[in-house]
């Protein structure tokens, strides 16, 4: 059974860098055909796709956040990481990691439970 | 970027009712449309992928239809646990985008 678990600080100060880790179990982050994604949800609002890293290492980021995002993998720990720089209160959200599977179509079939990150001084 | 417009944003219904939620894309997305269910405080759960393919383990009262720019999620007979929030998601082109959500409420 594939499981994803996000971890990281729950509170980040404005202008600092948000760093989260997603630990994957039951699958390998280098398995072919998967897009390891980050998605966020501000409190009481909808879902926003942040970006993904493909198993090959290629990345694609949401243009609205592109200049501030970095997604990487640590194959030795089977983890996917997200860094978001220069955060503001608008970056306060529950951050989810999810596995994107390509079976004809492409969809998120496994999600972490999410971690709330609050940006505040 | 592709914009996804979901309607209605909220819907009041009763147990046993049949309901339909609609998602419209700002341009054609073929069948690259997925539906998720989200319970309060939980991660979204995949219900339907490729517009009409039921994800394994999802009850058959959920069904999806459509292609191109207009898609529907239908729940044939609402159960108490279905009164939560639903999102559509286009994966036709990056950046991926989601509808704004539809909250199902008990009448």
The string of pLDDT tens digits covering residues B50-66 is 999 999 999 999 999 99
Q: Could you tell me where the DSSP H helices lie in chain B?
A: none
Of A46, A103, A108, nearest to B100 by CB-CB distance is A46
The answer, yes or no, to whether residue A104 has pLDDT greater than 80, is no
**What is the per-residue pLDDT across B25-44, written as a single tens digit (0 to 9) for each?**
999 999 999 999 999 999 99
Is A112 near chain B, with CB under 8 Å?
Answer: yes
B34/A46 CB distance under 8 A: no
A63/B95 CB distance under 8 A: yes
Q: What is the pLDDT of residue B38?
A: 98
C-alpha angle A23-A29-A32 in degrees, rounded to nearest 5? 155
Q: What is the pLDDT of residue B9?
A: 97
Provide the b/e sequence for B56-95 (b: ≥16 CB within 10 Å). Answer: eebeeebbbebeebebbbebeebeeebbebbbbbbbbebb
Q: Please check whether residue A112 is in contact with residue A99, taking contact to mean a CB–CB distance below 8 angstroms.
A: no
Arithmetic mean of pLDDT, A62-77: 94
A46/B99 CB distance under 8 A: yes
């Amino acid at each position: 059974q594939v499981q994803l678990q996000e971890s990281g600080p729950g509170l980040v100060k404005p202008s600092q860098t948000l760093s989260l880790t997603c630990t994957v179990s039951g699958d390998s982050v280098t398995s072919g055909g998967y897009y390891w994604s980050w998605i966020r949800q501000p409190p009481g609002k909808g879902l926003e796709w942040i970006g993904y890293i493909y198993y090959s290492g290629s990345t694609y980021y949401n243009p609205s956040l592109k200049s501030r995002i970095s997604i990487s993998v640590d194959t030795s720990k089977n983890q996917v990481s997200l860094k978001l720089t220069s955060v503001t209160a608008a970056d306060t959200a529950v951050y989810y990691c999810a596995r994107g599977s390509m079976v004809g179509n492409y969809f998120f079939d496994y999600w972490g439970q999410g971690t709330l990150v609050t940006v505040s001084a | 970027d592709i914009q996804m417009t979901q309607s209605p944003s909220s819907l009041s219904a009763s147990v046993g009712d049949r309901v339909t939620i609609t998602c419209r894309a700002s341009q054609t997305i073929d069948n690259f449309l997925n539906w998720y269910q989200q319970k309060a405080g939980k991660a979204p759960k995949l219900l339907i992928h490729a517009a009409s393919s039921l994800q394994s383990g999802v009850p058959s009262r959920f069904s999806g239809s459509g292609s191109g720019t207009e898609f529907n999620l239908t729940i044939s007979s609402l159960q108490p646990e279905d009164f939560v929030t639903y999102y559509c998601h286009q994966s036709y082109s990056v950046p991926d985008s989601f509808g704004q959500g539809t909250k199902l409420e008990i009448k």
